[in-house]
């Protein structure tokens, strides 16, 4: 019962710069979508 693994909790050690870059791109994409919808009035 104690031998569980979660991919979010047990995140493998990766390149921190790539991790931050990925989240930054994702954040900008979300903001861009919100702004586009707001401006176009969809």
pLDDT tens digits along 1-27: 566 666 566 566 667 888 889 899 999
Q: According to the model, what pLDDT value does residue 25 have?
A: 94
* Chain centroid offset of residue 39 CA: 24
What is the reported pTM?
A: 0.55
Q: b/e for 15-37, b at 16 or more Cβ within 10 A?
A: eeeeeeeeeeeeeeeeeeeeeee
Q: According to the model, what pLDDT value does residue 4 have?
A: 65
Domain boundaries, the chain: 18-42
Q: In whole angstroms, what is the distance from residue 11 CA to residue 29 CA?
A: 23
**Overall average pLDDT of the 25-40 stretch:** 94
Q: According to the model, what pLDDT value does residue 11 have?
A: 61
């Amino acid at each position: 019962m104690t031998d569980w693994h979660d991919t979010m909790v047990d995140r493998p050690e990766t390149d921190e710069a790539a991790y931050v870059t990925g989240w930054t791109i994702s954040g900008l994409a979300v903001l861009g979508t919100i702004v586009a919808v707001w401006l176009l009035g969809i």
